Amino acid sequence: MSRDKDGLFEASHIHNKPDLKSRRKDLRNGATPAEKKLWSALQQNQLGYKFRRQHSAGYYILDFYCPSARLAIELDGDSHFTEEAIAYDKERTAFLNALNIRVIRFLNSDVFDNLEEVCNQILTELNTYHPQPLLK
């Protein structure tokens, strides 16, 4: 493990695994309308933070990820409300939390109906969450 630019230990083999590169690219190229809309608000440091889209952590691919704040943003459509999807999302969040990555979720409809409020909630998370080192 090595320290990242924020002094946090980070296992480089955990992020953006090479064997997921084509899947991440496919997801970027096939972004949902909600993902496209939120990305338009997140890209080019518009909120004062750099975001990546379709970033992988382990074998999970995150919709959006802010490395400096270790914050993942996930957008949920109808497919996230089955029992299986709820269990999968819970397991996924636990894995990411164990990597000191916080996960916040929004409904696709939130992005369409009130993008400004979604951005405000993201900014609140970015400005209040201070990740702790994984190892000392």
Q: Per residue in 65-99, pLDDT tens?
A: 999 999 999 998 866 568 898 999 999 999 999 99
Q: Give CA 10 to chain center in angstroms.
A: 16
Check if the beta carbon of residue 130 is closer than 8 Å to that of residue 6.
Answer: no
Check if the beta carbon of residue 61 is closer than 8 Å to that of residue 93.
Answer: no
Task: Supply the range of the domain harboring residue 47.
Answer: 2-128
Is 50 contained in some domain? yes
Is 59 contained in some domain? yes
Is 25 contained in some domain? yes
Report percent pLDDT > 70 for the chain.
80
Check if the beta carbon of residue 112 is closer than 8 Å to that of residue 34.
Answer: yes
Is 133 contained in some domain? no
Other Cβ atoms less than 10 A from the Cβ of 118: the count is 22
Is 134 contained in some domain? no
User: For residue 15, what are the β-bridge partners?
Assistant: 57
Is 136 contained in some domain? no
pLDDT band at 21 (very low <50, low <70, confident <90, very high): confident
| Residues 16, 19: Cα–Cα separation, whole Å | 8
**Crossing angle (nearest 10°) for helices 33-42 and 115-128:** 50
Is 135 contained in some domain? no
Q: Which of 38, 52, 27, 61 has the alpha carbon at shortest distance from 109?
A: 38
Count of the separate structural domains present in the chain: 1
Is 81 contained in some domain? yes
Say which CATH number the domain at 56 has: 3.40.960.10
Q: Please determine, for residue 22, whether its predicted confidence score (pLDDT) is greater than 90.
A: no
What pLDDT sits at residue 8? 45
pLDDT band at 129 (very low <50, low <70, confident <90, very high): low
